[in-house]
Chain A
Amino acid sequence: MRDWQRYVRENLGSLRVNSAEFEEVAQELAAHLEETYERLRLSGLPEGQADLQTRAQAGNWKELNTQLNSARQEGTMNGRVKRIWIPSLLTLLTCWTILALLIWAGAQPLIWNRAEPRSAILYLPWLLLLPLIGAMGGYLSRREDGAGYQVYVAGTFPALAIAAILAVTFPFAFFVDPRIAPDFKLDSLLAMVLSWVILPGIALCAGVAFVNRYKPALPVKAGTT
């Protein structure tokens, strides 16, 4: 039998997608051709005939390439905006608005080590509310049929955003312009990561995981493979 994976890769040419996506498309098309070939053989066709008919069913590869490129690009922005960016920004906004309101209302933080000015700071009521906010972000993404990672990104976006800010500012402050943080210490970075990334991230994740518990199962009907 022909190596259909190789046949597809040789004919697919250059899709404007990353290598992982290319692999997925190639595997899917190869699986289709392999199944077509096997069914033709089962129906009694000799190898040569089955091979010829399978290749004929693939159709025009140039057209397939063009169509795949156009299909893979359609609506990319639209889908991502609805499934990731809008829920993420709403989660972020809600998260920081609630924190601001709590501080305005006089909520006192728990400070790990009061002697150390850059110790870990925990706003307990805020942390307790974060699973709800994470669940909201996850729900908004899932409602738009967001995939697993999109739901988690949307639900944990506030923690991810802080992680990204720290990842950019600390190396900059340390290596490029030490005047930004002249008394920079590694433990202050760890305290900030713990206070604003890890603990909030865990709390938000808990909310998303709760939403994901209600993900509808995907039943596979008998005879679909």
Chain B
Amino acid sequence: MIRTELKRGTAELAVLSVLEDGPLHGYEIGRRIEEQSGGALRYSLAALYPLLYRMERRGWLRGEWQIGANGKRRRCYRLLSRGQKMLKPMRAEWADLFRALRRVAKVTHA
């Protein structure tokens, strides 16, 4: 399991990446990240929702209330163009970080 301090920095990239495939509500964002990371990245409410609101304030996402197929109201988040633009440099930044870690700490990734 990855420690909270390490996970914190990954959340922005993880959220933007799962929203790249289409709009999702908060619970589903958390679930997709957990699934796609093989359970390694799991965010609590305290980590996920403040981040979603922060990203919404920055104009990266937009949350809109919708009625789901089960009749329940859910706030769906959609990736906005500004968020989309953030993905490329963010991915490059993480790739740089992994390369640097590989050189310094002999860290390898699967």
Contacts and interface: CB of A to CB of B under 8 A. Distances in A.
Interface of A: 24-25, 27-29, 31-33, 35-36, 39, 57-61, 63-64, 67-68, 70-72, 74-76, 79, 82, 144-145, 147, 218-221, 223-225
A218 B23 contact: yes
How many B residues touch the partner, as a band?
Answer: 35 or more
Nearest to B51: A71
A225 B72 contact: yes
B80 A145 contact: yes
B68 interface: yes
A58 B44 CA distance: 6
| B interface majority secondary structure | mixed
Contacts of A31: 25-27, 72-75
A167 to B, nearest CB: 31
Given A218-B76, A218-B78, A224-B76, A75 B57 contact: yes
A24 B75 contact: yes
B89 interface: no
Interface string B7-27: 000000000000001111111
Main SS of chain A's interface residues?
Answer: helix
Contact of B45 (A29, A71, A220): A29
B45 A225 contact: no
Interface in B15-62: 21-28, 30-31, 44-47, 49-51, 53-54, 57-59, 62
Given A28-B75, A76-B57, A145-B82, A224 B23 contact: yes
Contact of A58 (B45, B73, B76, B81): B45
Contacts, number: 111
B75 A220 contact: no
B70 interface: yes
Nearest to A29: B45
Contacts of A145: 59, 62, 80-82
User: Which 6 pairs, one residue from A and one from B, show the smallest C-beta to C-beta distance?
Assistant: A225-B68, A59-B44, A67-B50, A64-B46, A71-B50, A59-B46
B57 A27 contact: no
A78 to B, nearest CB: 8
Given A64-B46, A145-B62, A224 B51 contact: no
A225 B70 contact: yes
A86 to B, nearest CB: 14
A4 B99 CA distance: 44
A39 B28 CA distance: 11
27 contacts: A28-B26, A28-B75, A32-B26, A32-B30, A57-B44, A58-B44, A58-B45, A59-B44, A59-B47, A60-B46, A63-B46, A64-B44, A67-B47, A68-B53, A71-B53, A72-B57, A75-B58, A145-B59, A145-B82, A218-B76, A220-B22, A220-B23, A221-B22, A221-B23, A224-B28, A225-B28, A225-B68
Contact of B27 (A32, A59, A64, A76): A32
